[in-house]
Amino acid sequence: MRRDIFQAIADPTRRAIIALIAIQAMTPNAIAEHFDSTRQAISKHLKVLTECQLLKQEQQGREIYYQLEIDKMKEVDKWLEQFRKIWETRFSQLDDLLSTLKKQN
């Protein structure tokens, strides 16, 4: 089953996991140490993130390490870019308005 990437990142715990793994690949136990959740709950979050291809697993000896799929994060960034442009335009218009008002006073 392939999950929706935006559904996956809607959860604050999953976003925190992404932030941790963005720094370095980690084992499920190492990830779980950062949360007040059970190891099973963290495993479920990892499963969702893996199913939507935000994380990938790499076997190193007996350990499984999770690492971030940067290309998938770029997909999210690309989608957000359209809104970023709108916000920047509106902030620029607000700056212009405030400058005009300031000159009038």
**Cα(52)–Cα(67) distance, integer angstroms:** 13
Q: Which pLDDT score, from 0 to 100, does residue 1 have?
A: 54
- Average pLDDT by consecutive 10-residue portion of the chain (105 residues)? 82 96 95 94 95 94 95 88 90 90 86
Q: Which pLDDT score, from 0 to 100, does residue 76 have?
A: 87
State both tokens at 97: 């308005």
Q: Which pLDDT score, from 0 to 100, does residue 2 have?
A: 62
Residues whose CB is less than 8 angstroms from the CB of residue 25 and which lie 6 or more positions away in sequence, other chains included: 58, 65, 66, 67
| Residue 21 CB coordination number (10 Å) | 21
State both tokens at 32: 């779980």
Q: Which pLDDT score, from 0 to 100, does residue 73 have?
A: 87
Check: pTM over 0.85? Answer yes or no: no
Residue bearing tokens 């190891």? 39
